[in-house]
Structure 1
Amino acid sequence: MKPVRTNLEFELHDKLDEYFVKVVDQDTDDVIREIPPEKMLDKHAAMAEFMGLLVDEKI
């Protein structure tokens, strides 16, 4: 078996200002895994934006 060389990349999500981690293969630069998945963060940001449209202010 060939050993897998990986890097961890910490990225800031634009809309949420929260970090997520990408596990990247060093040899091919392919993303192996995202923790949490960026698509899930995108959906969370879209829901938060939608909730902001319904509720004008926080109490």
Structure 2
Amino acid sequence: MRTTNSLERLNKEILRRTRVATLFPNEASLLRLASAVLSKISDDWETARAYLTMEA
């Protein structure tokens, strides 16, 4: 059975970051913050996760 733990963790991280900022002047600023969080997490997955490599 597959779990959605990684998606839940991702959503919690975005929620945590947006709660810190609390007030956004417009939708674009919220989008920039969420995009930065997603980009950082994507970079971490691409570089630090050895179990995602195709080597046996």
TM-score normalized by the length of structure 1 = 0.37
Compare CA radii of gyration and give the structure with the larger one.
1
Q: Which has the higher helix share?
A: 2
Q: Which has the higher strand share?
A: 1
